[in-house]
Structure 1
């Protein structure tokens, strides 16, 4: 299991993913689940992945290889299928990811089913392509997808139930990205305390609208002093808030 979250705000995007994977209680490993494709000045795309690790890695590798091939070929063929480096809109980019998911399913789906394994994958794709505002999509195992909106400014995949309440209560579309990142880390903190299948480090991307650069990236490790202080202060303030609320009496 994993936990990934993406926020679409007035000022840009916040994308974050944990790095834990497990195949049983005694087989735990760390893998990066936040992947970025960048053409400075033109586009930044960030893909978060949850589900079967072999399948998600196949999808990411397919997307990366095709983008690199298109770059090397110079996009000479006008009828060439779009890639993450050539898609003209984020909608097209989401369709590229959905197509890669369906292609991998066509290759591996029957073999997984024969071994009683599910083709269980979900992705969050966020980013901006020059000419349109930042957009955020959730892509399912069937290759179809939904888009975040003003009414639903955040999307989550994986073990999301523990981190959702704070986002529902506090998130505002006009937040600064640093404020929103703090909220995302609190969402992760709640999830980490309640579910052992989600684990650090946490990979984080803050994308400012129209910056067309992915330079604001960080990995939050277990010994990160900010995250430790955040966790401690959040626990203290929650206890104080509960103490300040009048007791229930019958």
Structure 2
């Protein structure tokens, strides 16, 4: 399992992904799940993956290989003209990998399924985020749905729904996502640190700020402890239900 979020603000995009992979409670490993392609001044594309690791690694390898030699590779993630076309390309590549791996019915396809968040901006278009399903189809972020999650989503969603504001600055958005991730880590062993973070400023057309947040990060530790204490204090202030 994993946990990834792509969030849209009025000033840009924020991406965060955990790095834990697991094959049972006694077999954990760290694996990167966030990948970025950029052409300075022209485009920035970020992909985050969840699901079967062999499927997602094969998909990323295909996208990477097909972007290396632009004159010989078409379509390529570095040549598509819009983010919509990139989402179509990612969906088709994901479907290609799953179809090549599974040809013996729905059960086997489910075992090798994966989902993907694709976000970024191409010159001439606006920053946006897509959620790509295992079938290769996808949906785009809207004002009513300003963020997408994949993987273990249920523990970290409530705080985002309650506290998200499109006008919030990047620092507050990162704090919000860290609370969401911390809640998930404390609820599910299959999600864990370190976290990969990327902040993209609208119309910058570069990779932006990228960082890996480890368990000993002092800001993360302060947010984790502070959120726990704040929840206890808030609970004590609520009125008791009289019988």
Normalised by the length of structure 2, the TM-score is 0.96
Q: Distance in 1 between matches of 2:83 and 2:101?
A: 27
2:77 to 77, 81, 84: 84
Say which is worse superposed, 207-216 or 186-195, in terms of deviation. 207-216
Cα distance change on mapping 1:225 and 1:55 into 2, 3 Å: same
Q: Distance in 1 between matches of 2:46 and 2:171?
A: 18
Given that residues 119 and 141 in structure 1 are in contact (C-alpha distance below 8 angstroms), is that contact kept between their aligned partners in structure 2? no
Q: Distance in 1 between matches of 2:68 and 2:55?
A: 20
Cα distance change on mapping 1:116 and 1:150 into 2, 3 Å: closer
1:159-174 superposed matches below 5 A:
159-174=152-167
Q: Distance in 1 between matches of 2:166 and 2:99?
A: 39
Q: Distance in 2 between matches of 1:120 and 1:162?
A: 22
Q: Distance in 2 between matches of 1:209 and 1:249?
A: 51
Q: Distance in 2 between matches of 1:81 and 1:114?
A: 33
Cα distance change on mapping 1:112 and 1:227 into 2, 3 Å: farther
Say which is worse superposed, 237-246 or 107-116, in terms of deviation. 107-116
1:1-250 superposed matches below 5 A:
1-70=1-70, 73=71, 81-110=74-103, 118-250=111-243
Note the C-alpha offset of 1:55. Answer: 0.3
The size of the alignment, in residue pairs, is 243
Segments of structure 1 that go 5 or more residues without pairing to the other structure are none
Note the C-alpha offset of 1:119. Answer: 2.4
Q: Equivalent residue of 1:68, what SS? A: coil
The one-character-per-residue Cα deviations of 1:114-160 (angstroms, maximum 9, x if unpaired) are 97861220000010001011010000111000011011000000000
Q: Distance in 1 between matches of 2:178 and 2:65?
A: 32
Q: Distance in 1 between matches of 2:223 and 2:15?
A: 19
The one-character-per-residue Cα deviations of 1:181-216 (angstroms, maximum 9, x if unpaired) are 110110000000110010100001010101111130
Normalised by the length of structure 1, the TM-score is 0.93
Cα distance change on mapping 1:242 and 1:117 into 2, 3 Å: closer
Say which is worse superposed, 231-240 or 122-131, in terms of deviation. 231-240
The one-character-per-residue Cα deviations of 1:26-85 (angstroms, maximum 9, x if unpaired) are 221100000001111111110000000000000000000001121xx2x7xxxx733110
Aligned-CA RMSD value: 1.6
Given that residues 7 and 154 in structure 1 are in contact (C-alpha distance below 8 angstroms), is that contact kept between their aligned partners in structure 2? yes
Segments of structure 2 that go 5 or more residues without pairing to the other structure are none
